[in-house]
Amino acid sequence: MLRVRMGEYTTDSEKKDISEWVDEGTPEDGFSMVKPIFDRDYIKCPSLTSGLSVPPFITYEEVKKATGTDLGEPIKNLASLSHIHLFGIRFIFLTTGLIFSLSTMNLYLKFVQSPCLFLLSGSI
């Protein structure tokens, strides 16, 4: 949150205070120390009417939610998406291979031209 656009309105010492509070695990009793910084610098831009997806940082719960660690997509989802994409690419190669194998061009040109087309198109 300190690297976003509103981070330029805080001083280095205020950024250090917020970073230390986050490093301590964002305890609720330490929120009183950083709340004035949020009230002065971060509450101005994000609001429900601004259209930004940034929470307004008014309450401790909103700030705590924003300081959580994002672990990204689970490996199971990534493996599933990769499998689906590889399955689709397989059909593209299969179709292209069938087109060239059933064509009436010279056999030598089939073996030379097919890999060159894939390399030139950036498909591999």
Quick one: how far is CA 96 from the chain centroid? 33
Q: What is the model's pLDDT at position 35?
A: 83
Residues of the chain falling short of pLDDT 50: 1, 124
Quick one: how far is CA 15 from the chain centroid? 24
- As a whole number of angstroms, the distance between CA 115 and CA 21 comes to 57
Neighbours of 28 (CB within 10 A): 9
- As a whole number of angstroms, the distance between CA 111 and CA 122 comes to 18
Q: Which amino acid is at 123?
A: S
Question: What are the CA-CA distances from residue 66 to residues 2, 59, 93 (Å)?
Answer: 11, 11, 44
Residue pLDDT, tens place only, 68-102: 777 888 888 888 888 888 888 888 878 877 787 78
Listed in sequence order, the DSSP H helices in the chain are: 12-23, 31-37, 60-66, 75-101, 107-121
> Which strand (E) or helix (H) includes residue 38?
none
pTM of the model: 0.47
